């Protein structure tokens, strides 16, 4: 049975649960519920008060099933628009000032959240670090751009969550001046977008399989798609959309006219992506051209067979993996090094028994040490337990060295370290 642990945080008393040497504080609200008039509005900071039961599981943003279920398997969690929460794993809520890892999940800006896949217990225990998982708005609720609205709401959520970390993480045994933002896929792109905003609440970044080769979406393209999606959902404008059932907005993502509108843009993006709106993001730059790579030390890399998660068997995918993932990672590391930052590159090649090879997302079970949570993952169908342990030991060790400010165990960029 887990041990109950209480923590005083401002005007609140948090009740967390301690298990296997790590205390977990779940579903801590960092923003008010984005419902009613706050739907499609920037996040509003929340203050925790009174007795807070932090032993439960946070709701994730409303979403459709992930299109990567065929490789990742399934990971169910409660869904709610009231999803703006963080979950904290800490070895001890003391004054030790440990390094902090803030996890930014992937999912094409449409799926994901603080899931069992990303449980921070193993990282916190092995590395003596504080791990924070962040839930943000997804899909139309977080990334729709429409007339009279604000773009990139999910990014603003993430920004506010990082501000929460800066303000409160010392109470959980963390050091607000040693924060690493760690993101995979869309989460990595979100970190790049935060770097474009400036005023950084983190000092290091780990970018795992971030498709930076796509760049960001133009405001005109996003407005066109947003208008089509609202119409498909049954709303003429954002004010009408505030009154729609959330399922109407989710179903609209699958409407044929929305699919056609995305294809018509021919900009290499899916339905959602960060938007160069000129307000929450610059109007016309890419993260690489903006000098974002020059601001923090970075561990950046890709998986050898990224595109096998998306393409049919037998389709060529190597060129797309290079264009979307590998070359932008190399460019990012090179720009960081030119600016005097420390930069390391990696490639994850996986192991035998992985039928999709080292596809998109294949490194996640080993970074977090959550192989059991990926029990339904076809991508790990025949992986030997010994190989899983070996990869977990290697990836976690390198990631934690970087988080602590140490070299991860190989030469800096342009050298590429291969995990296999």
- Does residue 30 lie within any of the structural domains? yes
- Whether the CB-CB separation of 230 and 237 falls below 8 Å is answered with yes
Residue in the structure block whose two tokens are 């970087």:
402
Write out the H or E segment, with its range, that includes residue 319.
Answer: helix 318-321
- 312: pLDDT strictly greater than 70: no
Q: Is the peptide bond before 414 cis (omega within 30 degrees of 0)?
A: yes
- 315: pLDDT strictly greater than 60: no
Min mean pLDDT across 161-165, 173-177, 286-290, 336-340 is at 286-290
Q: For 344-385, write each residue's pLDDT tens digit.
A: 999 999 999 999 999 999 999 999 999 999 999 999 999 999
Q: For 139-175, write each residue's pLDDT tens digit.
A: 999 999 999 999 999 999 999 999 999 999 999 999 9
- Confidence category of residue 287, pLDDT binned at 50, 70, 90: low
> Hey, what are 272's tokens?
């959602």
Residue-level pLDDT at 197: 85
Residue-level pLDDT at 316: 58
- Whether the CB-CB separation of 112 and 138 falls below 8 Å is answered with yes
What's the structural domain count of the chain?
Answer: 1
Residues facing residue 24 across a β-bridge: 17, 89
Cα gap 420→414, rounded to integer Å: 19
Question: What does DSSP assign to residue 200?
Answer: -
- Confidence category of residue 290, pLDDT binned at 50, 70, 90: low
Residue-level pLDDT at 285: 77
Min mean pLDDT across 99-113, 275-289, 338-352 is at 275-289
- Does residue 31 lie within any of the structural domains? yes
> Hey, what are 87's tokens?
């979950």
Residue-level pLDDT at 289: 62
Q: For 198-251, write each residue's pLDDT tens digit.
A: 778 899 999 999 999 888 999 999 999 999 999 999 999 999 999 999 999 999
Longest dimension (CA), the chain: 58
- Does residue 237 lie within any of the structural domains? no
- 54: pLDDT strictly greater than 90: yes
- Confidence category of residue 75, pLDDT binned at 50, 70, 90: confident
Give me the percent of the chain exceeding a pLDDT of 90: 88
Instruction: Single out the residue of 100, 112, 119 nearest to residue 181, CA to CA.
Output: 100
Range of the domain at 90: 25-35+56-217+268-419
- Does residue 245 lie within any of the structural domains? no
Min mean pLDDT across 36-45, 274-283, 286-295, 323-332 is at 286-295
Cite the active site residues.
185, 306, 360
- Whether the CB-CB separation of 276 and 212 falls below 8 Å is answered with no
Q: Is the peptide bond before 34 cis (omega within 30 degrees of 0)?
A: no
- Does residue 285 lie within any of the structural domains? yes
- Mean pLDDT in residue range 387-393: 97
> Hey, what are 324's tokens?
């979307």
Residue-level pLDDT at 2: 86
- Does residue 398 lie within any of the structural domains? yes
Residue-level pLDDT at 283: 87
CATH number of the domain bearing residue 122: 3.40.50.1820
Cα gap 275→320, rounded to integer Å: 22
Residue-level pLDDT at 313: 54
- Does residue 229 lie within any of the structural domains? no
> Hey, what are 407's tokens?
């070299």
Q: Between the ranges 194-203, 298-307, 319-328, where is the mean pLDDT highest?
A: 298-307
- Does residue 370 lie within any of the structural domains? yes
């Amino acid at each position: 049975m887990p041990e109950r642990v209480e923590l005083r945080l401002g005007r609140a008393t948090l009740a967390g649960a301690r298990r296997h040497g790590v205390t977990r504080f779940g579903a801590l609200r960092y923003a008010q519920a984005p419902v009613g008039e706050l739907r499609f509005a920037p996040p509003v900071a929340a203050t925790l008060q009174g007795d807070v039961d932090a032993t439960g599981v946070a709701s994730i943003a409303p979403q459709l099933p992930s299109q990567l279920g065929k490789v990742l398997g399934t990971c169910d969690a409660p869904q709610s628009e009231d999803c703006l929460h963080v979950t904290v794993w800490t070895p001890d809520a003391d004054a030790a000032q440990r390094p902090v890892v803030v996890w930014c999940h992937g999912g094409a800006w449409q799926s994901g959240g603080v899931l069992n896949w990303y449980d921070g217990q193993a990282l916190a225990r092995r590395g003596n670090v504080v791990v924070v998982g962040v839930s943000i708005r997804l899909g139309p609720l977080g990334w729709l751009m429409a007339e009279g609205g604000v773009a990139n709401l999910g990014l603003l959520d993430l920004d506010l969550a990082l501000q929460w970390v800066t303000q409160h993480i010392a109470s959980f045994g963390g050091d607000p001046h040693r924060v690493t933002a760690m993101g995979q896929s869309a989460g990595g792109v979100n970190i790049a977008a935060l770097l474009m905003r400036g005023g950084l609440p983190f000092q290091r970044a780990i970018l795992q399989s971030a498709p930076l080769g796509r760049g960001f979406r133009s405001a005109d393209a996003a407005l066109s798609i947003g208008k089509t999606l609202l119409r498909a959902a049954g709303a003429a404008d954002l004010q009408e959309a505030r009154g729609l059932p959330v399922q109407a907005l989710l179903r609209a993502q699958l409407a044929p006219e929305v699919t056609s509108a995305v294809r018509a843009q021919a900009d290499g993006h899916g339905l959602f992506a960060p938007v160069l709106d000129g307000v929450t993001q610059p109007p016309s730059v890419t993260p690489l051209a903006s000098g974002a790579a020059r601001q923090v030390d970075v561990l950046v890399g890709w998986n050898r067979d990224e595109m096998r998660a998306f393409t049919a068997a037998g389709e060529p995918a190597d060129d797309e993996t290079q264009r979307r993932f590998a070359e932008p990672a190399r460019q990012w590391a090179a720009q960081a090094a030119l600016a005097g930052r420390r930069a390391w590159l990696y490639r994850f090649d996986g192991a035998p028994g992985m039928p999709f090879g080292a596809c998109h997302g294949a490194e996640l079970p080993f970074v977090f040490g959550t192989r059991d949570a990926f029990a339904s993952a076809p991508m790990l169908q025949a992986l030997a337990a010994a190989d899983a342990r070996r990869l977990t030991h290697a990836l976690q060790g390198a990631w934690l060295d970087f988080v602590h400010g140490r070299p991860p165990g190989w030469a800096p960029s342009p050298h590429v370290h291969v995990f296999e």
